[in-house]
């Protein structure tokens, strides 16, 4: 792994953690891009030529590395068990920076020009509220300006906490709250709203009649898998690092952010820095999500028989997503990318009794932890 800029210096590389702890394996392997894979050298020339012929008004975006075109003939094979599925004729990928107004304008340009059937965004159901935040309002709506990839959204308190616990358990909820506060602090310090490109994607999709598709894996599942990949020493170190980042003065100036946002995805930088300090996190935070995003772009039910699909994803995911699109061997299913939480059911009265007791204990524990974490989240957020 190449050296990563110290954008988030609270996460320091620790030699003790440099041996990844294996995750519970999926039924099939999710392979990251090989070290020598570079998506630009793989598709850039053909992409530019096609864009120049079909949409010359977008050629500047192709030239500066924001827009890429991938036609169906470059995809991996459709698996035999999905012979009735027809993949999109073409995918247009827009690489964005989540705190850049320029990215929002670029998304609008591409969607208006291409007029796709679907627009796939790097969000899941839990974070879909980011698309509806009104950046021009004050008060509660103004707080949405600090929305980030870890934000808790839902129907009030129980909607947000309940969904997080249901999908990822209390540990995923704890990690999510801490990372949400940390990311919100960064956005506040830099005075920039998060997710303008997603709001632009929703708005312009409605104008051209395109369907919005939530293309990212549920964040609760991602964080649960990330948490379970760490040993207890790493877990304690990670929590301590995030808390230090929340309570200490910001180490990222507006100038540094402006320089980095020109070519990078800040959220991806955070994931990458975490993975540098804790190598076990690389697979669940980046590689698995890249593959999931690729599947949403070309193999989700929403894009079946579509002609044109536009993907709105962070620039940092481009290499992994494009590799997954091109190198797919057709042996993965969506359920392989989600993973399954262990479950067991007793076959006798004694086992059923233990199951009920455990269910009640888990409910009480999750409720207490969720309440405390929500209170911590609101208290710290109010002081940002």
- Encoding tokens for residue 322? 């494009």
What whole-number distance in Å separates Cα of residue 158 and Cα of residue 165?
10
Residue 36 φ/ψ, nearest 5 degrees: -90, 5
- Encoding tokens for residue 99? 């705190």
Please report the pLDDT score of residue 304 as a whole number: 92
Compute the mean pLDDT over every residue in the chain, rounded to the nearest whole number: 74
pLDDT band at 24 (very low <50, low <70, confident <90, very high): low
Smallest Cα–Cα separation from 283: which of 2, 33, 51? Answer: 33
Compare 104 and 373 and report the one with higher pLDDT.
104
Residue 361 φ/ψ, nearest 5 degrees: -60, -45
The domain limits of the chain are: 39-245+265-338
pLDDT digits (tens, 9 = 90+) for 144-188: 434 545 554 544 444 555 555 554 455 556 665 666 666 666 556
Compare 124 and 159 and report the one with higher pLDDT.
124
pTM value? 0.76
Instruction: Lowest mean pLDDT of 36-40, 115-119, 151-155, name the range.
Output: 151-155
Q: Would you state the torsion angle of the CA atoms of residues 371, 376, 378, 382, taken in this order, to the nearest 10 degrees? A: 170
């Amino acid at each position: 792994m190449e050296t990563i800029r110290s954008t988030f210096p609270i996460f320091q590389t620790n030699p003790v953690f440099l041996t990844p702890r294996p995750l519970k394996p999926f039924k099939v392997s999710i392979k990251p891009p090989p070290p020598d894979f570079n998506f630009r050298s793989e598709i850039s020339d053909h992409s530019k030529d096609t864009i120049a012929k079909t949409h010359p008004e977008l050629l500047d975006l192709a030239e500066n590395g924001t827009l890429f075109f991938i036609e169906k003939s470059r995809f991996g094979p459709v698996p035999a068990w999905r012979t009735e599925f027809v993949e999109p004729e073409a995918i247009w990928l827009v690489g964005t920076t989540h705190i850049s107004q320029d990215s929002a304008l670029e998304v609008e340009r591409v969607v208006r020009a291409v007029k796709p059937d679907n627009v796939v965004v790097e969000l899941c159901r839990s974070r879909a509220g980011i698309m509806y935040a009104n950046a021009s309002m004050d008060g509660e709506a103004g707080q949405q300006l600090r929305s980030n990839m870890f934000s808790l959204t839902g129907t009030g308190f129980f909607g947000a906490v309940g969904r997080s616990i249901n999908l990822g358990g209390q540990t995923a909820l704890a990690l999510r709250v801490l990372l949400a506060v940390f990311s919100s602090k960064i956005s506040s310090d830099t005075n920039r709203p998060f997710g303008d490109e997603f709001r632009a994607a929703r708005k312009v999709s409605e104008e051209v009649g395109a369907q919005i598709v939530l293309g990212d894996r549920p964040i609760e599942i991602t964080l649960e898998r990330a948490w379970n990949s760490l040993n207890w020493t790493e877990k304690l170190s990670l929590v301590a690092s995030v808390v230090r980042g929340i309570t200490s003065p910001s180490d990222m100036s507006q100038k540094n952010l402006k320089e980095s946002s020109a070519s990078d995805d800040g959220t991806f930088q955070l994931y990458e820095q975490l993975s540098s300090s804790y190598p076990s996190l690389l697979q669940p935070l980046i590689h698995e999500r890249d593959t999931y995003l690729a599947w949403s772009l070309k193999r989700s039910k929403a894009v079946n028989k579509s002609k044109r699909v536009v993907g709105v994803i962070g620039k940092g995911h481009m290499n992994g997503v494009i590799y997954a699109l091109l190198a797919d061997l057709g042996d993965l299913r969506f359920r392989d990318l989600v993973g399954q939480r262990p479950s067991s059911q007793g076959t006798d009265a004694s086992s059923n009794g233990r199951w009920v007791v455990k269910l009640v204990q888990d409910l009480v524990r999750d409720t207490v932890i969720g309440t405390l974490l929500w209170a911590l989240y609101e208290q710290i957020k109010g002081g940002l």
